[in-house]
Amino acid sequence: MQNPPRITANGNLGPVDAALVPRYAGPATYARLPRLDQVQHADVAVVGVPFDTGVSFRPGARFGANHVREASRLLRPYNPAQDASPFENLQVADAGDMAVNPFNINEAIESIQANALDLTAGGSKLLTLGGDHTIALPLLRAATERAGQPVALLHFDAHLDTWDSYFGAEYTHGTPFRRAVEEGILDTEAISHVGTRGPLYGKRDLEDDRRFGFGIVTSSDVFRQGVDEVVAKLRDRIGNRPLYISVDIDVLDPAHAPGTGTPEAGGMTSRELLEILRGLRGMNLVGADIVEVAPAYDHADITAVAASHVAYDLITLMGLS
């Protein structure tokens, strides 16, 4: 079908109308939204980065973006949890995938940054589907350049991702936020991990992390303190600074996200993650990513469904900031 019937509102071209075209039919753009070349301007561009050369354990996140797109077919235009219609408030479009060199990490990082700057040149915000967490570094570089100042960061992850290197490599999925601090692209008074847990290489990992300026909200903190208290602390730490949110899907417990490269027991539930994100309504969200979805390990598409909803709530937040 060349021109499927779409839901339109506020002059924005929205998803294919599921009352007229079955959800399983047609190309799998995110939430069945139009492609970027089908709209004059996008307030939010959803872009995939099929890159997982930086992983240290199980590969496969290069296939994550399309897996999330397929799972997003069931999303609907109205978000009752936030009392908002994100595709009415914003023109959202799927920008397809960046073409990234899978054999050269340094070149890949440069091209991701260049692509991100190109996609945001007209004022669009990016919601990026990974890919492994290496991609957060060039995305943060681009976000900082667009914001004109270092950005605040909320990093949802089982892991710190502030290690120095793996096998002598400076750029991997375990090092992006150390590099970001070293490059001065993060506002170190407003950066925090959320959902961390599991064994570390040593106590120095935590000492280094504190030295970089990171606050830590562990998955146990979320369980014991509750969502509302965690949200209040995060909002107080970030304030109205330009905020970038990076979500590694392994922040969720493997029961909620088995399809990922480095699973850790004792994680957050998908409900807790979504409720924390919803609690950030009104903050100055300038960009976001969801990474480390690996379809080969994702039985029953559990991980992709969770990731598609995380993306949906992040897009909703972009329309309410």
As a whole-number percent, the residues of the chain with pLDDT over 90 amount to: 98
CA 307 to chain centre: 8
- pLDDT for 285: 98
Q: Would you say residue 121 has pLDDT above 70?
A: yes
Q: Would you say residue 321 has pLDDT above 90?
A: no
Q: Tokens 């999303």: give the residue.
A: 75
Q: Which residues pair with 206 in a beta bridge?
A: none
pLDDT, mean of residues 118-147 = 98
**Which range of residues forms the domain containing residue 243?**
6-318
pLDDT, mean of residues 194-202 = 97
Residue 36 DSSP SS3: helix
Q: Would you say residue 320 has pLDDT above 90?
A: yes
Binding site, by residue number, is: 133, 157, 159, 161, 248, 250
pLDDT, mean of residues 158-180 = 96
In a domain, 115, yes or no: yes
DSSP state, 255?
A: T
Write out pLDDT tens, residues 288-306: 999 999 999 999 999 999 9
**How far, in Å, CA of 86 to CA of 319, rounded?**
6
In a domain, 256, yes or no: yes
Write out pLDDT tens, residues 231-273: 999 999 999 999 999 999 999 999 999 999 999 999 999 999 9
Alpha carbon of 187 to those of 153, 212, 244: distances in Å? 8, 10, 11
Q: Would you say residue 1 has pLDDT above 70?
A: no
Binding site for Mn(2+), by residue number, is: 133, 157, 159, 161, 248, 250
CA atoms within 13 A on the CB side of 222: 30
Report the chain's mean pLDDT, rounded to a whole number.
97
In a domain, 244, yes or no: yes
CATH number at residue 149: 3.40.800.10
Write out pLDDT tens, residues 26-43: 999 999 999 999 999 999
Strand order in the sheet with 92-97: 92-97, 44-49, 125-130, 285-291, 243-248, 151-156, 186-196, 215-218
Task: List the alpha helices (DSSP H) in the chain.
Answer: 64-71, 86-89, 105-119, 136-147, 176-183, 204-212, 219-225, 227-238, 270-278, 302-318
> What is the tally of structural domains in the chain?
1
Going by pLDDT thresholds of 50, 70 and 90, the confidence category of residue 198 is very high
As a whole-number percent, the residues of the chain with pLDDT over 70 amount to: 99
In a domain, 1, yes or no: no
Q: Would you say residue 2 has pLDDT above 80?
A: no
Going by pLDDT thresholds of 50, 70 and 90, the confidence category of residue 71 is very high
- pLDDT for 3: 84
DSSP state, 37?
A: G
pLDDT, mean of residues 76-102 = 97
